């Protein structure tokens, strides 16, 4: 390392040390002058080693308290507190040192009172002045280059965000808007509160704002939709800070500025869960998850690991998905006993070996094919994986003495119009009826679309928008229920904790969302205009699709459970002998690839199912969820 480079590195720190020691000497000198100002007849005297002792002792205290580690540019209250601590401790140490040196000869006691006050002012004043100068200089430089932003929300999150942005040359905060009456005319960190949310367009125009920053991490979904709509009306780009649940879960940093995601607008208010019951079901238990590399399966694995499972076995037939989730879990939960098994759930031998080694007590069966249009022409593959695979895992779980088996199902199993839905309904029927012939508690959890899951409409729309469109929607009136992946998994765990066996639980999916509205909102969030900049094209319903999804069959008279977000469908029994016979015949048809026989078997179990290439909208029955107490 060259001498010039070395000096360049140490120079700022040497300057700070020199400044602080100079201030210590100056404070000691002024303190003695002030003392003798009131006693002009006394003569000011200094001993030979008085100043060296003061500087040496005070310098050591400065070093010990870490005063040299602070950066003047960011001097704040903690730094001032550290200065006070250093000068008080230094004064005590100087007192003891001078007492041992000369019994405090020539050092009046009042000097030891004046010295720390003067030194605190001399140390703190230049630091604060330097920060003020740098901030003021930075604000002047920002005026020409930084983007003028307004913060929507003047609560704690907005205040912290404005403070952080003072050190970010990309942004210049011009003010806040907030609906709280107590904040009218207030100033936060030197920035005024300029108006209410509904005055956003007018205020933004008057203040020449170039971007809006939404700082409402605790806002409900309804409030967030309103604020985003108001931001949309300004025509300005806008960003937001993460939701509190994302920060708590470690998925985001508190004041990280990010684009508003569709999940922020379609998610629901946070779900209240009985974590005690969930922990009793999973903590210190041996758990197995099939399809553990998929969207739902992987999130289940994360939450199960977070809840302190004794061991977790992940069964997955995708090599890459298995590698990805096991690597993540090993990094985040090194104490977890984790086993990844690359296997097909329909492989009986592989399942028997996996169960014999893992000895699971709780099992979540998330493995399934789920792409409706693709499976419409793939009956054999859909039946083999979604039905026979489920039967293999369920039978093996019963033989292995698994205590709790949870089948992850779908709203498409209700009045199915698709091959995928029909196969999932047959899987539900098998698990429901197997419950009466086993000590294992078999239960089913049924829910709708999951936001941003693999193969879902959200990533498809996002890709189409990034490509410049068009965004393809099958029908102007088509609607779907949506739920975030973490929320769906939490409710699955909750259902597992309350199930007694044989139930079909349906999760409260909220209100259905029109796919057209979803597409338009995603286009606006991307900063484009629906129709003009990004066209929306209607392609017609695909094979097996419904206009409206249902969560219950009309004959499943559903009722409430102990949890407000989980409902219970009444069990519909099927002859066990008939079920076994039809599934055996279907398994033989799978072996010889006889799809015609498979159709007959499915029709035998689901008499109302019609083999049509495309679902007709006029024939679709929509069952909207109402208050369960009123429906009984």
Catalytic residues: 412
The answer to whether the CB of 247 falls within 8 A of the CB of 253 is yes
Return d(Cα 14, Cα 17) in angstroms, integer.
5
* Cβ count within 10 A of residue 437: 11
Here the contacts of 163-170 (C-beta below 8 Å, separation 24 or greater) are: 163/189, 164/255, 166/135, 166/138, 167/74, 167/138, 169/138, 169/141, 169/142, 169/145, 170/146
Residue of 227, 237, 229, 232 lying closest to 258 (CA atoms): 237
Return d(Cα 68, Cα 50) in angstroms, integer.
24
Q: Which of 145-164 are b and which e, b meaning 16 or more Cβ less than 10 Å from the residue's Cβ?
A: ebebbbbbbbbebbbebbbe
The answer to whether the CB of 361 falls within 8 A of the CB of 403 is yes
Return d(Cα 208, Cα 205) in angstroms, integer.
5
The answer to whether the CB of 212 falls within 8 A of the CB of 152 is yes
Q: Which residues contact 195 (CB under 8 A, 6 or more apart)?
A: 177, 202, 203
Residue of 607, 598, 472, 489 lying closest to 545 (CA atoms): 472
* Measured CA distances, 374 to 427, 428, 589 (Å): 19, 21, 21
Coil, helix or strand for 49? coil
Q: Is 61 exposed, middle or buried (0-12, 13-18, 19+ CB in 10 A)?
A: buried
Q: Is 324 exposed, middle or buried (0-12, 13-18, 19+ CB in 10 A)?
A: middle
Coil, helix or strand for 197? helix
DSSP secondary structure code for residue 502 in this structure: S
Report whether the peptide linkage leading into residue 412 is cis, meaning its omega lies within 30 degrees of zero.
Answer: no
The answer to whether the CB of 569 falls within 8 A of the CB of 431 is no
Residue of 205, 158, 190 lying closest to 177 (CA atoms): 158
Here the contacts of 136-140 (C-beta below 8 Å, separation 24 or greater) are: 138/166, 138/167, 138/169, 139/172
């Amino acid at each position: 390392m060259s001498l010039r480079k070395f000096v360049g590195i140490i120079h700022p720190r040497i300057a700070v040390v020199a400044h602080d020691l100079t201030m210590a000497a100056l404070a000691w000198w002024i303190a003695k002058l002030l003392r003798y100002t009131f006693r002009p007849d006394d003569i000011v005297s200094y001993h030979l080693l008085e100043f060296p002792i003061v500087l040496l002792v005070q310098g050591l205290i400065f070093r010990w308290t870490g005063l040299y580690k602070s950066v003047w540019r960011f001097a704040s209250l903690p730094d001032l507190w550290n200065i006070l601590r250093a000068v008080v401790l230094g004064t005590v140490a100087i007192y003891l040192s001078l007492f041992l040196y000369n019994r405090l000869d020539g050092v009046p006691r009042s000097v030891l009172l004046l010295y720390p006050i003067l030194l605190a002012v001399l140390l703190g004043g230049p630091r604060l002045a330097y920060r003020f100068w740098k901030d003021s200089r930075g604000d002047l430089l920002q005026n020409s280059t930084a983007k003028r932003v307004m913060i929507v929300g003047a609560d704690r999150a907005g205040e912290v965000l404005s403070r952080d942005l003072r050190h970010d040359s990309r942004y210049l905060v011009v003010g806040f808007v907030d609906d709280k009456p107590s904040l009218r005319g207030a100033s936060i960190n030197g920035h005024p509160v300029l108006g209410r949310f509904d005055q956003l367009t007018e205020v933004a125009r008057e203040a020449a704002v170039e971007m809006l920053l939404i700082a409402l991490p605790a806002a409900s979904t309804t409030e967030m939709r309103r604020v985003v709509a108001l931001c949309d009306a300004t025509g300005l780009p806008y960003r937001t800070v993460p939701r509190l649940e994302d920060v708590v879960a470690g998925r985001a940093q508190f004041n990280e500025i990010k684009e508003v995601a569709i999940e922020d607008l379609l998610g629901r208010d946070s779900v209240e869960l009985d974590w005690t019951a969930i922990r009793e079901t999973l903590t210190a238990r041996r758990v197995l998850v099939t399809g553990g590399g998929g969207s739902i399966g992987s999130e289940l694995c994360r939450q199960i690991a977070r809840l302190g499972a004794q061991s977790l076995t992940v069964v997955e037939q995708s090599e890459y998905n298995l590698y990805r989730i096991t690597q993540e879990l090993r990094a985040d939960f090194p104490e977890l006993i984790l086993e990844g098994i690359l296997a097909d759930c329909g492989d009986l031998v592989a399942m028997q070996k996996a169960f014999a080694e893992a000895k699971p007590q709780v099992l979540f069966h998330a493995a399934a094919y789920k792409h409706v249009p693709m499976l419409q022409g793939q009956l054999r593959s859909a039946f083999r994986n979604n039905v026979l695979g489920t039967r293999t895992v369920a039978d093996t779980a019963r033989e292995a003495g698994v205590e709790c088996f949870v089948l992850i199902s779908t709203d498409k199993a209700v009045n199915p119009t698709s091959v995928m839905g029909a196969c999932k309904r047959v899987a539900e029927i098998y698990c429901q009826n197997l419950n009466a012939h086993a000590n294992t508690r078999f239960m089913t959890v049924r829910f709708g679309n999951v936001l941003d899951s693999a193969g879902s409409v959200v990533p498809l729309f996002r890709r189409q928008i990034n490509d410049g469109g068009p965004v393809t929607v099958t029908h102007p009136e088509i609607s779907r229920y949506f739920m975030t992946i973490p929320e769906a998994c939490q409710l699955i765990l909750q259902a597992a904790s309350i199930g007694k066996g044989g139930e079909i639980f349906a999760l409260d999916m909220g209100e259905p969302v029109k796919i057209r509205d979803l597409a338009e909102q995603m286009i606006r969030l991307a900063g484009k205009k629906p129709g003009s900049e990004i066209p929306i094209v209607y392609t017609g319903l695909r094979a097996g699709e419904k206009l409206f999804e249902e969560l219950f069959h009309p004959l499943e008279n559903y009722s409430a459970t102990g949890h407000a977000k989980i409902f219970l469908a009444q069990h519909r029994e099927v002859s066990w002998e008939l079920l076994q016979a039809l599934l055996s015949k279907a398994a033989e048809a799978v072996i010889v690839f006889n799809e015609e026989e498979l159709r007959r078997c499915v029709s035998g179990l689901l008499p109302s199912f019609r083999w049509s290439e495309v679902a007709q909208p006029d024939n679709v029955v929509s069952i909207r969820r109402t208050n369960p107490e009123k429906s009984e």
